[in-house]
Amino acid sequence: MPLLEAEAPRDPILLFDRWFREATQAGALQPEAMTLATTGEEGPSARMVLFKGILDGTFLFYSNYASRKGRDLSHDRRAALVFYWAVTRHQVRVYGPVRKVGHAASLAYFAGRPRGAQLSALASPQSKVIRSREVLERRVLELAEKYPDEVPLPKGWGGYALQPTWIEFWENREDRLHDRLRYVRRSGDAWRIERLAP
């Protein structure tokens, strides 16, 4: 179906929610997987991370603050996200500044993760060189024994929130005459909708 300005909601988050739901219902493989692109002292870098929801209009994800992405975001707070759902032929690009979420929010999210994921986060010095997988697996076993009940939030681990400056919606159309609508933040919750050539 065509992506038309007259039919698009004034709030891009509503359109994002609709497309995310459609991709999920259509059976997209890991619809929450998104590309996160950052720039740091080592240059640009991109990787797949998991989208963890929208809070007050910001896109949430979690990571080790000492990882490459964490170091990049300490150097340059701007980042870009890309969602692509082949099953619905939709792509969403998001750009804006990123901030860390509060400790309480990070703690609450971490407490809700599966125990195995908690232990992995605590064991892994993300993005650092390690001798072997066995070293990592042994560390997980040690931590499982040390923390039989509650796994503590790793120091230097938590959430990030990206506040969109703009969000672009791309819909695949025949003959590569795709639809592209970009929402540009004007002020507060006001957005301007622009059509981009495919």
Find the domain containing 21 and state its range: 5-110+156-195
Q: Is the backbone of residue 172 left (phi > 0), alpha (psi -120 to 50) or beta?
A: beta
SS3 147: coil
126 falls within a domain: no
89 falls within a domain: yes
Select which of 131, 133, 176, 186 is catalytic.
176
Residue 55 sits at φ, ψ, to 5 deg, of -130, 120
pLDDT of residue 166: 98
121 falls within a domain: no
Measured between alpha carbons, how far is 164 from 42 in angstroms, rounded to an integer? Answer: 24
Average pLDDT over residues 134-153: 95
- 44 pLDDT higher than 90: yes
Instruction: Report the first-to-last Cα separation within the chain, whole angstroms.
Output: 16
127 falls within a domain: no
136 falls within a domain: no
Give the largest CA-CA distance in the chain. 59
Q: What average pLDDT does the chain have? A: 95
Average pLDDT over residues 57-65: 97
Count the domains in the chain: 1
Per-residue model confidence as pLDDT tens digits over 153-168 = 999 999 999 999 999 9
Contact predicate 95/165, CB 8 Å? yes
CATH number for the domain spanning 167: value is 2.30.110.10
SS3 197: coil
106 falls within a domain: yes
125 falls within a domain: no
Catalytic residue at 176?
Answer: yes
151 falls within a domain: no
Tokens representing 177 are 């005459």
pLDDT of residue 1: 57
